[in-house]
Structure 1
Amino acid sequence: MFECIVKNWQGEQVGQKTFDWKVAKEETASHVVHRALVRQMANARQGTASTKTRSEVRGGGRKPWRQKGTGRARAGSIRSPLWRGGGVTFGPKPRDYEIKMNRKERRLALRTAFASRIDDLIVVEDFGDQLQRPKTKELVEVITRWGSKPENQTLLILSERTENVYLSARNVEKLKLIGADQLNVYDLLHADKIIVTASALEKIQEVYK
């Protein structure tokens, strides 16, 4: 059972939220979360790096000089990997870096990562109607009132995207805005403080429980 206080727009405590999640055992928790993190980062790789081998480099069809009698080392092509402008030995080729992980294990890792950040979790009331127009300064001020300093890497989780909140948040360097359905292990571990709205927390519980 996890408990956290709920704050309003002014930063005052107005209630309490509890949620009960099944998380990984203490002895296996770090391993499960690590696997999920490695999978996410590997799957984000494009895998488009490519080099040409000696058979793919243009030119080099003619033997540069005769085999014997010149005093130089024998050479069959000017596109040998030993030559400037030649092919690349064992260079990268396009490949798929995807790592598979069972859905149950992925969700267990996500719940475990989320629960491990309970001390840095800040639950707030929905504030979409508080911003009548996009205003970055107001959003930065309220995040400070909630308990996250401007120099902190802050993750803001909303139940659904609000245009005024999005436009206010997009220019803040150390603030990342995601939806409750976009939760991922990397963002949860990377953030110094995690701010989640009450409705987003309910949605997360509903989806990932």
Structure 2
Amino acid sequence: MKLQVLNQSGQNVKEITLIDSVWGIEPHQQAIYDTVVSQQAALRQGTKKVKTRAEVSGGGRKPWKQKGTGRARQGSIRAPQWRGGGVAFGPSPDVNYKKSVNKKVRALAFKSALSIKAQETNLIIVDKFDFSKPSTKEMVEILKNLKIDGQKTLIVTLNKEELLIKSSNNVAKVKTIPANHLNMFDLLNATKLVMTEEAALAVEGVYA
């Protein structure tokens, strides 16, 4: 697969060859689904909690003696059957929501997502981003030059570039991440995928 490499002005500067085994496969929808579900599940946190009988205050004394009262035996007024008692089998925050996906499936999912972007011509390769200082105005101009302004855009660089991140922070629908933070949700959530040449080759090296 051959793609044009653009500069910040939107001009073709050279051509890059990407391997089809990463950027040109038949997308595997089930692998994509499983990987997204796994990523979203890993972000879940236990937010529901009720007190068990051990955590409810009071109830340390046996309410009445074991025998001879004619009433059912009771050990504590904080047992689950009592009003104000602890809850039996209630929700707990100590729940593991993680879903495992093996490495081959995860790799297939990433290659599928990258191939979708390439096949739909939503993949843009840029030689580099060069900022002398943080500038939202300059970032907006670059997006216009690349003809992707106003669209959901994911920008991927080889390393974390502070000037680029600060320049794009105030631009709506634009997110910037380094290549080692590339994830399935951000890939699929963005309409346009903009990668520096170095980042594209680095990602290709991981999944080739």
Query: Shorter-normalised TM-score: what interval?
Result: 0.7 to 0.9
Q: Indicate how the Cα distance of structure 1 residues 21 and 77 shifts in structure 2: closer, same or farther if over 3 A, else same.
A: farther
Residues 108, 82 of structure 1: alpha-carbon distance in 2 compared, 3 angstrom cutoff: farther
The number of aligned residues is 199
Determine if contact 1:56/1:87 at 8 Å carries over to the other structure. no
The alignment's TM-score, normalised by the length of structure 1, stands at 0.79
Unaligned runs of 5+ in 1: 69-75
Tell me the distance in 2 between the aligned counterparts of 1:3 and 1:85. Answer: 69
Q: Which residue in 2 is equivalent to 1:114?
A: 114
Shift of 1:33: 0.8
SS of the residue 2:28 aligns to: helix
| Residue 140 in structure 1 maps to residue 116 in structure 2 | no
Counterpart Cα distance in 1 of 2:16 and 2:48: 47
Q: How does 1:1-209 map to 2 (within 5 A)?
A: 2-22=1-21, 26=26, 29-47=28-46, 49-60=48-59, 77=77, 80=80, 83=83, 87=87, 90-118=90-118, 119=120, 120-128=122-130, 131-150=131-150, 152-209=151-208
Aligned-residue identity in percent: 33
- Give the letter aligned to residue 134 of structure 1: P
One-letter code aligned to 1:106 = R
The amino acid of 1:147's aligned partner reads K
TM-score normalised by structure 2 residue count: 0.79
Structure 2 counterpart SS, 1:90: coil
The residue aligned with 2:66 is none
Shift of 1:144: 2.2
Distance 1:208 1:84, change over 3 A: same
Name the SS for the 1:195 alignment partner: strand
* Counterpart Cα distance in 2 of 1:51 and 1:63: 23
**Structure 2: where are the runs of 5+ without partners?**
64-68, 71-75
Q: Which residue does the alignment assign to 1:71?
A: none
CA contact (8 A) 1:57 1:87 kept: no
Deviation at 1:100, TM superposition (A): 1.8
Distance (whole Å) between structure 1 residues aligned to residue 47 and residue 34 of structure 2:
23
